[in-house]
């Protein structure tokens, strides 16, 4: 009886550890996918880039300048 109880407790602990590890791995993968989308959404809502603090208009002018420079 005691050996059965010990086996059940060990099985529960192994399942808990395995599930916790799997949850952390899945959470990290979902976070890596969703972070760029959230940054883009917040940038569009605020009207400027959160990372570089340039306004949307300045970013467009900067991109246009790059394109014009490449054409020459």
- Residue 59 banded pLDDT, cuts 50, 70, 90: low
Q: How far is Cα 70 from Cα 72, in angstroms, rounded to an integer?
A: 6
User: From the CA atom positions of the chain, what is the Rg in Å?
Assistant: 25
Q: What is the pLDDT of residue 63?
A: 62
In sequence order, the β-bridge partners of residue 55 are 48
Provide the number of structural domains found in the chain: 1
pLDDT at 40: 85
- Per the listing, tokens 């959230």 go with 38
- Averaged confidence pLDDT in the chain: 81
Domain that holds residue 31: 2-71
Quick one: pLDDT band at residue 12, thresholds 50, 70, 90? very high
pLDDT on residue 72: 46
CA distance 26 to 5: 31
Structure confidence by residue, pLDDT tens digits, 41-55 = 888 888 777 777 777
């Amino acid at each position: 009886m005691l050996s059965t109880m010990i086996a059940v407790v060990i099985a529960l602990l192994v399942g808990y550890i395995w599930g916790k590890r799997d949850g952390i791995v899945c959470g990290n993968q979902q976070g890596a996918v969703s972070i760029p989308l959230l940054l883009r959404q917040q940038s569009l809502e605020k009207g400027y880039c959160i990372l570089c603090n340039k306004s949307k208009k300045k970013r467009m002018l900067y991109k246009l300048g790059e394109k014009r420079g490449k054409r020459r």
